[in-house]
Structure 1
């Protein structure tokens, strides 16, 4: 069997978090069809499994990724009560059927989950198992962020400034109007240290989730901003 490394022309896809720019091609000595074993996962953006064409100079992915820039997700969240419930997990009050959706490990799956939860009245964003906080940034504006704790980078969002400390047992954040959560069956006695009710100006908020965008780096040594929140009316 002959083995060679060839450039991967990914056609907008992303087959690892680091991105593959070269793959190994194995060609059987009995003139069998060459094959690639490096690509072990579907596209991290669109959840597509690649159809490959192997040439003498490169490995080409045949179908283009439909979301080469990732997906930008803006969720509209009404908070008429002026009380915002902040948590990682607001199930089973807000939950949805994932049947037929892309993997939550992909940008498309993250966007689909956020859009499905928006229809139920909850702002949801998939994250990592990391420290998250809700931080004020101005009049009617907030971010959900993971602060940096390196010696060289001073966090813009220290623990002392957070309005809510979000546990990530679910690897996510969830926001909802507290009164709506109660009306849908939410029991205040079930809330614990990882659930916080924050007083905000009543109105409608846009929650712009960044975790599905191409180039978003959840492992940055700087502060990682998962979402921007802004009161729009």
Structure 2
């Protein structure tokens, strides 16, 4: 078994974001790994870096391919005017894992979102906190987790009356599709349960702008956490 010899501070992360806030690397028998190894790949691109030691500090040699994170934008056709809102629309919609980068990094999740959009599902990662689809104005929505101040009046940061669908967070995701398309792909209405909601919207094409891959996205914010903006664009 490898023995940890020492730790070195990371003075140049080259755009990568690692466990332990990019602060340190562990040195094992002359090999260097981000603190938190084996979960030490870059949170953005998934790359396991190589280092150069300069003045008793580690410098990452290869730059991150997406140093600012990724804002993923997809579109979803909703000709029926009915959105099926759920946390999980598999097996009707599913991506091929073999074609993806590690889902645990932002780049992998970006590819998963795009792969699902290509087959008719607006999919996105979430957290384990309360999640919902909220109307902000005509033909505009957000997928968000409201902030609730339990120490005061417990009033959520988003008006409850604007919530069109609550989304279960057991598997930390949301999945939305045109209801008629879901049926045409083999969806069985008998499999729907209380965690699935059909929402009436204006027929058209909807754009989903996913924010959870952006650098600085804060799941633990004391404000509303917006995972995606949704609006009808055509």
In the superposition, the TM-score normalised over structure 2's length comes to: 0.89
Written as runs of structure 1 = structure 2, the 5 A alignment for 1:128-147 is 128-147=127-146
Question: Which residue is equivalent to 1:167?
Answer: 168
Distance 1:91 1:59, change over 3 A: same
SS of residue in 1 equivalent to 2:102:
coil
8 Å CA contact 2:11–2:59 kept in 1: the answer is yes
Question: Which residue is equivalent to 2:35?
Answer: 38
8 Å CA contact 2:11–2:58 kept in 1: the answer is yes
Written as runs of structure 1 = structure 2, the 5 A alignment for 1:1-233 is 3=6, 5-16=8-19, 19-23=21-25, 33=30, 35=32, 38-40=35-37, 41-150=40-149, 151=151, 155-233=156-234
CA drift of 1:39 comes to 4.8
Q: Which 10-residue stretch deviates more, 93-102 or 141-150?
A: 93-102
CA drift of 1:104 comes to 1.6
Question: Which residue is equivalent to 1:29?
Answer: none
In 2, the alpha carbon distance for the partners of 1:46 and 1:213 equals 12
Distance 1:232 1:11, change over 3 A: same
RMSD between superposed Cα atoms in Å: 2.1
CA drift of 1:57 comes to 3.8
In 1, the alpha carbon distance for the partners of 2:34 and 2:46 equals 18
SS of residue in 2 equivalent to 1:133:
strand
CA drift of 1:101 comes to 1.4
CA drift of 1:156 comes to 3.2
CA drift of 1:25 comes to 5.3
Please, which runs of 5 or more residues in structure 1 have no aligned partner?
27-31
8 Å CA contact 2:9–2:58 kept in 1: the answer is yes
In 2, the alpha carbon distance for the partners of 1:34 and 1:88 equals 41
SS of residue in 1 equivalent to 2:98:
coil
In 1, the alpha carbon distance for the partners of 2:187 and 2:30 equals 58
In 1, the alpha carbon distance for the partners of 2:34 and 2:181 equals 50
In 1, the alpha carbon distance for the partners of 2:32 and 2:47 equals 18
Q: 1:56-87, CA deviations, whole angstroms, 9 ceiling, x for partnerless residues?
A: 24201110001001111111000000001000
In the superposition, the TM-score normalised over structure 1's length comes to: 0.90
Q: 1:22-60, CA deviations, whole angstroms, 9 ceiling, x for partnerless residues?
A: 44557xxxxx74745625111000000011111224201
In 2, the alpha carbon distance for the partners of 1:36 and 1:94 equals 37
In 1, the alpha carbon distance for the partners of 2:207 and 2:25 equals 41
CA drift of 1:5 comes to 4.2
